[in-house]
Chain A
Amino acid sequence: MSVKVNIHPVLRHMTKGQSVVEVKGSTVGQCLKQLVAQFPETESALFNKDGRLLSYVEIYVNRESSYPEELKKKVADGDEIHIVLMLTGG
């Protein structure tokens, strides 16, 4: 089951510049674990020490918010995950 993970520009230095990473998994959590397995630096950018998503990381599946149980959200072959960060500048 192939899922595309779109990487936020701020995090792309952790994925060797890749804006999209292909992973396999049936939940968002499994897909993000695969992302971390490929690019270990992304772990601390996405998760806290308890393994929960950092508060400012937003996850969208097929461009729809998956809050609040993001990691449990089911995904299917061909789905797209977007990792987006809350922006505060003005």
Chain B
Amino acid sequence: MLTESDMERYDRQIIIDGLGQEGQERLKKARVVIAGSGGLGSAVSVYLVAAGVGTVRLIDHDRVELSNLNRQVLHWDKDIGRRKVISASEKLRSLNPGVTIEAVDETIKEDNVARLVAGFDMIVDAMDNFPVRLMLNKAALDRNIPFFYGGVHGFEGRAMTIIPGRTACLKCVYHGSIPGDKIPVVGATPAVIGSIQATEVIKYIVGIGELLADTLLVYNGLDMEFTRFKVKRDPDCEHCGKWRDEVKNEC
């Protein structure tokens, strides 16, 4: 139930056709995991918390470093050395005290990923490496909840929305990563991609618009172009192949 304060705080989005009070109530009830509190995580979490998503769980095991500050805008100079989830949750609670922020200072691993996402409605990928992204992709498929992929490099980024049983998953389109330890990023790039991920999450929760389903959106900041690429489920996908069998059975 929306309070009088909610009605005022979210007024500019409640008046959007197709969102309304009902959509706002859905946002309030939603429980979202944001895996990573870095560049993507900063943008995604700010916009989901500002939009009034009811419960947000932040997961990150890192501490804030000086070299993070060009892009990870939830962390400030005074936060250097602090746990990222503590630094981020502090800012997010100040932004919107009505949202429950859970700060989980853990490394996501094969043996804890199921526990870390249990009880949540969706997972947002704000990671900086592919092994953990794939763990999250698999966990989302196992739980039958959507997974919102994002990735950045330099002035370029990409996003895709994965709906179990309906769309290609991340494993269907992932075959390897660009080699190199230190990934170049200008801060505005994760801001663009994180905002797109937040938009997808809000649309999914409210049930409006078209999602980036079977669609890889690539943002090229240097040429200032967005390109939509059609992707398809890999029939031999290790992660989502089982869904193909279930669909066949339904038919």
- A87 touching B228, Cβ below 8 Å: no
List A contacts of B222 (CB < 8 A).
9
Nearest A-chain residue to B220, judged by Cβ: A9
Given A9-B155, A10-B153, A55-B176, CB of A88 within 8 Å of CB of B230: no
- A65 touching B230, Cβ below 8 Å: yes
**Which candidate, B23-31, B75-83, B100-108, B122-130, is the interface stretch facing chain A?**
B122-130
List B contacts of A89 (CB < 8 A).
39, 128, 151-153, 183-185, 190
Shortest C-beta distance, B165 to chain A (Å), equals 19
Residue A19 CB within 8 A of the other chain: yes
- B178 touching A87, Cβ below 8 Å: yes
- Docked Cα-Cα span, A55 to B176, in Å, equals 5
Nearest B-chain residue to A62, judged by Cβ: B230
Nearest A-chain residue to B231, judged by Cβ: A65
Interface size class of B (residues with CB under 8 A): 35 or more
* Most chain A CB within a 10 A radius of its CB, from B156, B173, B223: B156
- Docked Cα-Cα span, A54 to B178, in Å, equals 9
- B175 touching A55, Cβ below 8 Å: yes
List B contacts of A19 (CB < 8 A).
223
- Docked Cα-Cα span, A63 to B231, in Å, equals 9
Query: Which of A9, A60, A86, A90 meets B176, CB within 8 Å?
Result: A86
Residue A39 CB within 8 A of the other chain: no
Which residues of A (44-90) have their CB < 8 Å from a CB of B? Answer: 54-56, 58, 60, 63-65, 67-68, 82, 84-90
Which residues of A (1-51) have their CB < 8 Å from a CB of B? Answer: 9-10, 19
Given A9-B154, A60-B229, A65-B231, CB of A86 within 8 Å of CB of B39: no
Residue B38 CB within 8 A of the other chain: yes
List A contacts of B223 (CB < 8 A).
9, 19
- Docked Cα-Cα span, A10 to B154, in Å, equals 9
- A88 touching B227, Cβ below 8 Å: no
Nearest B-chain residue to A54, judged by Cβ: B176
- Docked Cα-Cα span, A90 to B175, in Å, equals 18
- Docked Cα-Cα span, A21 to B138, in Å, equals 38
Which residues of B (36-52) have their CB < 8 Å from a CB of A? Answer: 36, 38-41
Binding site for B on A (CB under 8 A): 9-10, 19, 54-56, 58, 60, 63-65, 67-68, 82, 84-90
6 CB < 8 A contacts A-B:
A54-B176, A58-B175, A64-B229, A65-B232, A82-B227, A89-B151
Binding site for A on B (CB under 8 A): 36, 38-41, 125-130, 133, 150-158, 173-179, 183-185, 190, 218, 220, 222-223, 227-232, 234
Instruction: Name the 7 nearest CB pairs between A and B, nearest first.
Output: A55-B176, A89-B183, A90-B128, A87-B151, A56-B176, A87-B153, A89-B152
